[in-house]
Structure 1
Amino acid sequence: MKRPSLPKMLVRGLFRRCAWCGGRGAFFTGWTSKQSTCASCGLNWRRGDVGYELGAAATAVVLSMGPLVVLLGVIVAITWPDVHVVPLFVVLGTGAIVLPIVFYPSSYTMWQAVDIMFRPPEPDDFESPPPST
């Protein structure tokens, strides 16, 4: 199979699809529970890379904290010089709790897209897909 473009793989990852084949649900059997291979193409979740989780965690930080920092800047710029700190902390604190939960699965599948871009899958990175339940 020809490697898809990075933007296409990132969009697939954003919607929790396998970056390689675009299969629905890909590795996730629930919001946070994963299986070891893609349900559609059989691509292994971890392809022998020890630090894979670190890249996914960094992607989660960017997806979660990026919008919060931008929102902070916009709110401070709009309300300057009378910035109301308590509502600002409530809004940003809520976002800091909710956004990582919302973006958890997407951060993993988007990181997989970046990983595939730098290390294209080899034939031994695939197994037969697990049976559907």
Structure 2
Amino acid sequence: MVICARPSFPTMLWRGVRRRCPWCGGRRAFFTGWFAKQETCRTCGIGWRRGDVGFELGAAAVSAVICMGLLVVAMVVGIVLTLPDIPVVPLLVVLGGGALVLPVVVYPVSYTVWQAVDLTMRKPERADPTVPPPVP
């Protein structure tokens, strides 16, 4: 694993939003497909989870925040644009469709954004495992 200079938090977040490695900025660093990921970055070799058992929970929370935020914004815009006679059923159909599609679209972004947050809280060290040990 290559330990390079620590990037700033906004830089790591921006890299995560673009599905790049938050640490080195490598393209297609962890994802080989939309849902398929590998354990280490192809560029710098940093581990995906770095031995943390709860990594997926943080990524799921980021996904929920992004999806709920976008749905609330869409709902407010839909209500404001159609005042005073709000078409409730079409609005619910559009928002329901968004609630089904958004988590699929946001999946890889939520993981790389959460990794940016994780790397900010826990700077990688040479002793970090690249692949988590098996659970007994």
> TM-score by structure 2 length?
0.88
1:23-102 matches, within 5 Å, as 23-102=26-105
Letter of the structure 1 residue corresponding to residue 122 of structure 2: R
Query: In the alignment, which residue of structure 1 is the partner of 2:134?
Result: none
What's the RMSD between the two structures over aligned residues?
A: 1.3
Query: In the alignment, which residue of structure 2 is the partner of 1:12?
Result: 15
Task: Flag structure 1 segments of 5+ consecutive residues without an equivalent.
Answer: 128-133
Is the CA contact 1:47–1:125 (under 8 Å) kept in the aligned structure 2?
yes
Q: How many residues align?
A: 127
> TM-score by structure 1 length?
0.90
Q: Matched residues in 2 for 1:125 and 1:102: separation?
A: 30
Letter of the structure 1 residue corresponding to residue 126 of structure 2: P
Q: Which runs of 4+ in 1 moved over 6 A?
A: none
Q: Matched residues in 1 for 2:129 and 2:11: separation?
A: 20
Task: Flag structure 2 segments of 5+ consecutive residues without an equivalent.
Answer: 131-136
Is the CA contact 1:42–1:126 (under 8 Å) kept in the aligned structure 2?
no
Q: Matched residues in 2 for 1:16 and 1:32: separation?
A: 12
1:89-128 matches, within 5 Å, as 89-125=92-128
Q: Matched residues in 1 for 2:112 and 2:48: separation?
A: 9
Letter of the structure 1 residue corresponding to residue 90 of structure 2: P
Q: Matched residues in 2 for 1:28 and 1:10: separation?
A: 17
Is the CA contact 2:51–2:129 (under 8 Å) kept in the aligned structure 1?
no
